[in-house]
């Protein structure tokens, strides 16, 4: 596939914290996910501790938690990471876009097989989500595969 857009520069400190997954092309783990939340914490050694939580099947479904580790692979931009769920495999994780205020972001892969549109608040407006979906489509993603992630009854996660 041709190169994929990457954010020019990512301030890792500003990127850390909670991100609600508001739309995606899900991995097999994320199918039927509700209230999906990704949390990033930067360690002193540069490893990004990640906690991904969601409810399976509905707002009251069982809580699923995964703890992959992120590793910055492009120190110039901080936009290309390896995300390790299982050692020694590091899946490609490209921050394609992040707004100046670090309130919404889009993460993808060169294969255009998975996509995550995330925001600091689960109640992101449709115009912003649609604009980000349009950007993903411009980068070669299939619009029909992108789905909204429901956020309801959010007491945990």
Task: Encode pLDDT of 121-140 as tens digits.
Answer: 998 999 999 999 999 999 99
- Residues 100, 10: Cα–Cα separation, whole Å: 10
| Inter-residue contact 11 to 71 (CB < 8 Å) | no
Specify the pTM: 0.93
pLDDT at 89: 63
In the chain, the domains with their CATH numbers are 12-148 (2.40.128.20)
Which tens digits make up the pLDDT trace of 57-116?
999 999 999 999 999 999 999 999 999 876 566 788 999 999 999 999 999 999 999 999
Cβ–Cβ < 8 Å for 6, 96: yes
Strands of 67-136 (E only): list them.
Answer: 69-72, 80-86, 89-98, 104-108, 115-119
Q: What is the mean pLDDT of residues 7-12?
A: 97
Per the CB < 8 A criterion, the answer to whether 20 and 121 are in contact is yes
Give residue 157's pLDDT band: very low, low, confident or very high (50, 70, 90). very low
Model pLDDT for residues 16-44, shown as the tens digit of each residue: 999 999 999 999 889 999 999 999 999 99
DSSP 3-state of 14: helix
30 touches 145 (CB < 8 A): no
Cα gap 97→95, rounded to integer Å? 6
Q: What is the pLDDT of residue 91?
A: 83
Q: Is the pLDDT of residue 156 over 50?
A: no
Name the β-bridge partners of 68. none
């Amino acid at each position: 596939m041709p190169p994929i857009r990457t954010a020019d520069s990512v301030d890792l400190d500003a990127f850390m914290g909670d991100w609600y997954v508001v739309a995606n092309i899900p991995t097999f783990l994320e199918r039927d996910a509700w209230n999906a939340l990704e949390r990033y914490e930067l360690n002193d050694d540069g490893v990004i501790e990640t906690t991904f939580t969601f409810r399976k099947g509905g707002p009251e479904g069982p809580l699923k938690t995964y703890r992959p580790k992120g590793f910055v692979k492009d120190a110039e931009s901080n936009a290309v990471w390896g995300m390790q769920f299982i050692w020694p495999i590091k899946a490609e994780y490209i921050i394609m876009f992040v707004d100046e205020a670090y309130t919404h972001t889009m993460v993808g892969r060169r294969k255009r097989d998975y996509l995550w549109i995330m925001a600091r608040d689960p109640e992101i407006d449709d115009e912003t989500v649609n604009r980000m979906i349009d950007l993903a489509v411009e980068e070669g993603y299939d619009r029909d595969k992108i789905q909204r992630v429901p956020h309801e009854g959010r007491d945990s996660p």
